[in-house]
Structure 1
Amino acid sequence: MVKTAERSQASIGSYSADDVIFLLKDISDAMEESSTEDREEAIQSGVHYSEMLPIEYNPSSEYIKLFYSSLEQYKEKLAIAVGVVAERIIEDKGENIVLVSLARAGTPIGILIKRYIEYKFKINVPHYSVSIIRGRGIDENAMKYIFNNHLDKTIQFIDGWTGKGAIKKELDQAVALLNEKYSQTIPSCMAVLADPGNCASIYGTRDDFLIPSACLNSTVSGLVSRTVLSEKYIGTDDFHGAKYYKELEEKDVSNFFIETICSQFPHTENEVSRQFKEMKFSEPSWKGIEDIKQIQQDFGIENINLIKPGVGETTRVLLRRVPWKILVKDMKNEDLTHILLLAKERNVPVEVYKNMSYTCCGLIKPLKEKTV
């Protein structure tokens, strides 16, 4: 058994504990958010993004309507992607598994996959949500907790979608270190609904389409903030931290999102089986990163971290960062409706750029001539 300090599971988030256990420290009363501009300046000056939290975007009524309309539009496609991923996980790993979603974008997807496995295979698999931070790795204390409580189970990591593949690379490195340090043999395989970056081996689709949970930040992710790792708030034996946005409870649609997709399972089961049988799963080619390098060259961007490809990541740029411009492959693509709306709201220029596999790409404004 891996030695670790005793701690209780974090009571945080608006999801039922039957759906997910967050292995996160609640720092709601300890940490203040930073403005987008102050945070962007700090990040580009060398402060790690995990040491700050952005102010949660308060969506306009028009944007909230867009969430509901896009959910209605894509609920069947999402349910099918969830089913395909769940089928592949069971085929690859068997039924003796524990799902570990990567907070926070992976959390609602992990819940959906857990629900589908229960619906289709009649088994209730454990599901945890843990923090992984680019440049800092996965939460070691959270992983020790899972090791100790599920010694006999195979771990399956889950995220929402891929962009450049930075989190997949982070996961590969972190799992290699964990395996060496604790004599484990856990796989670093990551399952996602959409893999436009072509860097995951388990995926529902490699299309770059809108996953509505990318739209609303905490109000569709259990009212939990993005995760924090700062010595000010997190001790050596603590899980990584997060805030619970109690003041947003009236706007919370986290469980509504889950129930809407789950209601499609009986109607999409046959299509899931068909697509799963016909799907030719291929190992990652990492094609997406080649597109990003070309964009980097074409637009003279020194820091590749200022390029955020894919619908999900572009949404996040518009909600949480200081955008410079948005690149779109085809202005008429219906997946771009919310992107164009947000860009208009924030007065961000949109430019057609056809030479990429992604539907769109967000470019963050360099605040200095040389970025860190």
Structure 2
Amino acid sequence: MKKTVTSDMNQTRIAPPEPMGSYSLSDVIFLLKDLSGVQLERPTEDREEAIQSGVHYSEMLPVEYQPSAEYIALFHSTLQESAEKVALAAAVAAERIVHKRGLKGVLVSLARAGTPIGILIKRYIALRYGADLPHYSISIIRGKGIDENAVLYMLQQHGLDSYLQFVDGWTGKGAIRQVLVQASEDFQRKYGYRLDDDLAVLADPGFCSETYGTREDFLIPSACLNSTVSGLMSRTVLRDDLIGEGEFHGAKFYREWLADDLSNLFVDTVSAFFPAVAEAAFRKAASTAEQPPEASWKGIADIRAIQQSFGIEDVNLVKPGVGETTRVLLRRVPWKILVDRMDNPNLRHIMLLAEDRGVPVEVYPGLTYSCCGIIKPLKGGQE
């Protein structure tokens, strides 16, 4: 990591953030500007048309999906069934981070899907190794890059020798990993400081990461919901009229939904299994220490085949994996859902959402992922 820095980096002082979100500050600090008073939401169909007409997705927000009682019940049952499995995956990811980096790093989760995973990794490392690693959640946006002011703030707070370990929830096509790679190169050109583009994730079904908990494409309960399992935070926003030169990227804090918040329930339920899985996680991470796993990006072959099969020109309309398919159903205009098999137990919530929205589900033999969501093509464009 290059330690020589430019004058821009030394002279740019970033103001500390205002507290946001429903998590404890001991779990995470959001480096985001509070835009709660700004009307940013647009109806799903209007937003989809805007995105495919060239408006960047980060300039507006989707209307938050309000789940039915049946869907909330499914979240709770899924959490009870999978909490230990999620705990093991989080613990393995944490062990791999410790093996690579030691105990002096800073955890940097990518808002918002990465935030609960970063909290789990932080809690596991504290339990297993007694180290209280700083944890921040920052914005990264496809087509616009990482929040450089947030990165500068962390380096100013913790020193240039601090290792920043980026964390996200899961991989699909690996688009965010690619944004991180580019952002690291851009940051070095601008400030003379090289960020490591290693992205730790709970699940890596796209084979896009070297630091992961599992490569199984299973349902992570935090992917079921939006803000109510992510600290009541919206997606991040970047618009010139809202974000000043020295400010963090923005987001909304949905305080009005505190009564429905499940964010702490999720991390508390999963964390409770850490003592039971710690030894297995250590062994699993240690078994690959001699020959660390590589990112083969083999999921891309699936995407290309799907594009060809369905005549889809824009790769951004193809969203592979359980997490990404869930997002398609919650906040985009889905065309169809592809699954590896109809009786896949990881897809109960997918089937429920698809039925609720009247979206056809088809079996696609040989799929690397458990499922894949295809957004209805309108005029072209991307998110």
TM-score interval, smaller chain: over 0.9
Could you say which residue in structure 2 is the equivalent of 1:307? 318
Could you say which residue in structure 1 is the equivalent of 2:363? 352
Could you say which residue in structure 1 is the equivalent of 2:5? none
* Alpha-carbon contact 1:4-1:145 (below 8 Å) kept: no
Question: Structure 1: how far apart are the matches of 2:219 and 2:309?
Answer: 26
Q: CA deviation at 1:6?
A: 4.0
Q: CA deviation at 1:262?
A: 0.6
Could you say which residue in structure 2 is the equivalent of 1:258? 267
Could you say which residue in structure 2 is the equivalent of 1:116? 124
* Alpha-carbon contact 1:195-1:205 (below 8 Å) kept: yes
* Residues 1:269 and 2:272 aligned together: no
Distance 1:371 1:187, change over 3 A: closer
Q: 1:314-329 counterparts in 2 under 5 A?
A: 314-329=325-340
Select 1:163's aligned residue among 163, 168, 172. 172
SS in 2 for 1:260: helix
* Residues 1:80 and 2:88 aligned together: yes
* Alpha-carbon contact 2:337-2:374 (below 8 Å) kept: yes
* Residues 1:10 and 2:18 aligned together: yes
Number of positions where the alignment pairs a residue of Structure 1 with one of Structure 2: 371
Q: Percent identity?
A: 60
Q: CA deviation at 1:275?
A: 2.2
Q: CA deviation at 1:371?
A: 4.8
Question: Structure 1: how far apart are the matches of 2:96 and 2:68?
Answer: 38
* Alpha-carbon contact 2:14-2:149 (below 8 Å) kept: no
Q: CA deviation at 1:241?
A: 0.3
Residue type matched to 1:317 in 2?
V
Could you say which residue in structure 2 is the equivalent of 1:292? 303
Select 2:184's aligned residue among 172, 175, 190. 175
Residue type matched to 1:84 in 2?
V
Could you say which residue in structure 2 is the equivalent of 1:338? 349
Could you say which residue in structure 2 is the equivalent of 1:367? 378
Question: Structure 1: how far apart are the matches of 2:318 and 2:339?
Answer: 13
Could you say which residue in structure 2 is the equivalent of 1:60? 68
Q: Deviations over 1:93-123 (max 9, x none)?
A: 1111000000000000000000000000001
Could you say which residue in structure 1 is the equivalent of 2:157? 149
Question: Structure 2: how far apart are the matches of 1:274 and 1:143?
Answer: 33
Question: Structure 2: how far apart are the matches of 1:318 and 1:6?
Answer: 37
Could you say which residue in structure 1 is the equivalent of 2:4? none
Select 1:199's aligned residue among 208, 227, 232. 208
Question: Structure 1: how far apart are the matches of 2:157 and 2:279?
Answer: 35
Q: 1:241-256 counterparts in 2 under 5 A?
A: 241-256=250-265
TM-score (norm 1): 0.97
Q: CA deviation at 1:253?
A: 0.6
Question: Structure 2: how far apart are the matches of 1:274 and 1:192?
Answer: 18
* Alpha-carbon contact 1:309-1:360 (below 8 Å) kept: yes
Question: Structure 2: how far apart are the matches of 1:51 and 1:371?
Answer: 14
5+ residue gaps, structure 1, are none
Question: Structure 1: how far apart are the matches of 2:194 and 2:14?
Answer: 24
Could you say which residue in structure 1 is the equivalent of 2:27? 19
Q: Give RMSD over aligned pairs.
A: 1.2
Q: CA deviation at 1:328?
A: 0.2
Q: Deviations over 1:256-283 (max 9, x none)?
A: 1010011001111222123223346421
Q: CA deviation at 1:232?
A: 2.2
* Alpha-carbon contact 2:51-2:381 (below 8 Å) kept: no
* Alpha-carbon contact 2:109-2:138 (below 8 Å) kept: yes
Question: Structure 1: how far apart are the matches of 2:51 and 2:80?
Answer: 36
* Alpha-carbon contact 2:14-2:153 (below 8 Å) kept: no
Could you say which residue in structure 2 is the equivalent of 1:137? 145
* Alpha-carbon contact 1:30-1:233 (below 8 Å) kept: no
